[in-house]
Chains A and B, each alone.
Chain A
Amino acid sequence: AQSVTQLGSHVSVSEGALVLLRCNYSSSVPPYLFWYVQYPNQGLQLLLKYTSAATLVKGINGFEAEFKKSETSFHLTKPSAHMSDAAEYFCAVSGGGADGLTFGKGTHLIIQP
Chain B
Amino acid sequence: DTAVSQTPKYLVTQMGNDKSIKCEQNLGHDTMYWYKQDSKKFLKIMFSYNNKELIINETVPNRFSPKSPDKAHLNLHINSLELGDSAVYFCASSLSSTPGELFFGEGSRLTVL
Contact = CB atoms under 8 A, between A and B. Distances in A.
Interface of A: 32, 34, 36, 38, 41-46, 49, 88, 90, 92-103, 105-106, 108
Contacts of A100: 31, 33, 35, 45, 48, 56, 92, 94, 100, 102
Contact of B105 (A43, A94, A98, A103): A43
Interface of B: 4, 31, 33, 35, 40-45, 48-50, 55-56, 90, 92, 94, 96, 99-107
Contact of B104 (A45, A49, A97, A102): A45
B99 A46 contact: no
Contact of A98 (B41, B96, B101): B96
A38 to B, nearest CB: 8
State the majority secondary structure of interface residues on B.
Answer: strand
B43 to A, nearest CB: 4
13 contacts: A32-B99, A38-B41, A43-B92, A43-B104, A44-B92, A93-B100, A97-B50, A99-B56, A100-B33, A100-B45, A100-B92, A100-B102, A106-B42
State the majority secondary structure of interface residues on A.
Answer: strand
Contacts of A95: 99
Given A42-B106, A43-B90, A44-B90, A94 B41 contact: no
The 9 A-B pairs with the shortest beta carbon distances in the complex, nearest first, are: A94-B100, A43-B104, A98-B50, A103-B43, A96-B99, A98-B55, A98-B31, A44-B104, A100-B45
Contacts of B40: 105
Contact of B48 (A41, A45, A99, A105): A99
A49 B102 contact: no
A11 to B, nearest CB: 14
B31 A32 contact: no
Given A98-B48, A100-B48, A105 B42 contact: yes
